[in-house]
Structure 1
Amino acid sequence: MQGLLVVVNRAAGTTDDDAVDTALTALRAGADVEVAATGDEAELLEALAARDGRRVVVVGGDGSVHAVVQALVRTGALDPGEPVGIIPRGTGNDLARTLGLPEDPAEAAAVILTGRARPLDLVRDDAGGVVVNAVHLGVGAEAGAEAVRFKERLGTVAFPLGAAVAGLTSSGWPMRVEVDGRVAGGGPGAWTADGTTDVLMVAVCTGRTIGGGAPLAPDALPDDGLAEVVVSTATGPVARAAFATALLTGRHVERDDVSVTRGREVTVTGPPVPLNADGELESDVTARTWHVQPSAWSVLVPDGASGGLSR
């Protein structure tokens, strides 16, 4: 019988969740299950080090998957030949959305028992961090910080509320954005993100959505070796509101103050700016480079399905 190590974030309060119990019951019907309820990075590293060949299953959202992948990278144990299972139990579950994973806990457990491995790209940065879905700087990161205050009470509604609060006060940052060595911008003769233009948001994505379904990078693919880079200069009050409205349906990519570029390496420099990587917040970032590592890991997806990975 296959051995599974099911990682539950004790700090997120999911250990007593009825949905988690449902998933564990379904998993135990077909596998030998060990549960690791971890509360910090040290406990997570210890649990992964002692898994003794068990397949890792993450219960949680993008932040939980991010933490597990980061820990596997740091211990040299991330292997695309050893797929990770995901039981979506986060607030947004945006990576699961891109992969077409079921939200129902019993159905998600069935994917882990019968699904196939899907190789995925991993975005890594020059500070030792990883990105499994999306990293964004600027107003999106400010929105994420604001949403933290409302998540426990409001769930996914916290994300648009946080965006509204952040959008009232954010006027942009003069960031320079380079994609594969070229400055990002709005096309020939238009604006460029060369450090002289105020930028509202920069996003580097392999997943399609953030914040529980907002299609920030609607054409992104998590397995093509490229990141979708979205840059917005919608810094005026009216432009900010219009950008936020268009983002809800993915129409923001059609705006003149938005550029979408695809590439393997992205560098952002400028004044101190907030950053959000898979829901993990960081303040006062002045320079960061990300590069795409193709097929660096894999996730179990429904057998016989596209897993939401086609354009």
Structure 2
Amino acid sequence: MSDHDQLLVIVDPVARRCDGESVRIAKDVLCAGAEAKICLPDGPEEFCRALARRGSRRPVVLGDDRALLRAVTLLHRDRDPSRAPLALVPIGAPDALQVARALGVPPGTVAAARTVLDGVARRLDLLVDDSGGVVLQRLDVPAARLLAAAAPTVWDTCRSLVRTLARPAPAPVLARAHRLRVEADGVLLSDVDTLLEGLTVRALGGSAALILAPAGAPPVHATAQTLTVTGPDFRYRADTMVSGPVRRREWTVRAGAWGLTLPREAGAV
């Protein structure tokens, strides 16, 4: 790393609340190896302002998948996702760091912080939708099968515990099929007369890799630059964020649209 490398370390407030010790360790490692300005935003708005005012400093996010997605979304909306690569030190619950792991970010705090200092920037693809949203790793349409219930109140938790003790927990409710029209580069893959259990999309190698799951039929695989989904109100999940309902959404692949600092020995993501 250059002696003149300057970092803007943005500590997501969720990371500070859930694991202050890991935040402290990450800051110590980064400050020992570079000139680092530490920013402690209290919420998403301050997070956005800090990133917008980064100047020539290389942005480093201490946080989970949502914090990473927020940062990439902001850089994309600034039309400047490639000016400086992002770096991430993943801090949070394991299920909130699945995107970071899939992208190749080291899971340990010290290893990830050292990667910020000694790693290399790798260009990664984005899926960008027609509302300005981005997908870093995986898109699921519809999201009904993935939606988590709203956080229960204490009373709901108590009642749930009593029901669990009284009888076995019920089996999970299966997602219902949906009627959606799916087009890949203008080619119709599925129409509303076909029940669709799900659609999974990943941006890989400059294209979108699609897997459609028609009800009662083998999955359909395809690649495209543009994906269009229309139909009755549906929700979709972009990495960790659930959006909708919408009646139409279009996603386009942007090859190499952003940079992420990863270990030097890491293979292509």
Common topology (TM > 0.5): yes
Offset from partner CA, 1:275-299 (integer Å, 9 cap, x none): 2112112231211000001111111
Q: Residue 198 of structure 1 aligns with which residue? A: 195
Offset from partner CA, 1:140-165 (integer Å, 9 cap, x none): 4442333x638xxxxxxxxxxxxx99
Distance 1:6 1:134, change over 3 A: same
Q: Residue 128 of structure 1 aligns with which residue? A: 132
Contact 2:99 2:239 survives alignment (8 Å) = no
What SS does structure 2 have at the residue aligned with 1:168? coil
Q: CA deviation at 1:167?
A: 5.8
Correspondence 1:278 to 2:239: yes
Correspondence 1:291 to 2:252: yes
Correspondence 1:17 to 2:20: yes
Give the structure-1-normalised TM-score. Answer: 0.72
Give the 5 Å matches for 1:81-92.
81-90=83-92, 91-92=95-96
Q: CA deviation at 1:101?
A: 2.0
Tell me the number of residue pairs that the alignment of Structure 1 and Structure 2 aligns. 248
Tell me how far apart the structure 1 counterparts of residues 144 and 11 of structure 2 sit (CA, whole Å). Answer: 25
Higher strand share: 2
Offset from partner CA, 1:196-230 (integer Å, 9 cap, x none): 11212122223xxxxxxxxxxxxxx3xx1011212
Contact 1:8 1:37 survives alignment (8 Å) = yes
Contact 1:174 1:270 survives alignment (8 Å) = yes
Gaps of 5+ in 2: 153-168
Correspondence 1:177 to 2:182: yes
Q: Residue 111 of structure 1 aligns with which residue? A: 115
Contact 2:26 2:109 survives alignment (8 Å) = yes
Q: CA deviation at 1:15?
A: 6.8
Distance 1:60 1:144, change over 3 A: farther
Q: CA deviation at 1:62?
A: 2.4
Residue from 202, 208, 213 that aligns with 1:227: 208
Q: CA deviation at 1:18?
A: 1.5
Contact 1:58 1:65 survives alignment (8 Å) = yes
What SS does structure 1 have at the residue aligned with 2:8? strand
Q: Residue 97 of structure 2 aligns with which residue? A: 93
The amino acid of 1:19's aligned partner reads S
Residue from 20, 24, 32 that aligns with 2:35: 32
Tell me how far apart the structure 2 counterparts of residues 61 and 227 of structure 1 sit (CA, whole Å). Answer: 25
Distance 1:15 1:170, change over 3 A: closer
Distance 1:119 1:176, change over 3 A: same
Give the structure-2-normalised TM-score. Answer: 0.83
Contact 1:180 1:263 survives alignment (8 Å) = yes
What SS does structure 2 have at the residue aligned with 1:127? coil
Contact 2:181 2:230 survives alignment (8 Å) = yes
Correspondence 1:269 to 2:197: no
Distance 1:13 1:165, change over 3 A: farther
Larger-Rg structure: 2
What SS does structure 2 have at the residue aligned with 1:57? strand
Q: Residue 161 of structure 2 aligns with which residue? A: none
Tell me how far apart the structure 1 counterparts of residues 213 and 172 of structure 2 sit (CA, whole Å). Answer: 13
Q: Residue 102 of structure 1 aligns with which residue? A: 106
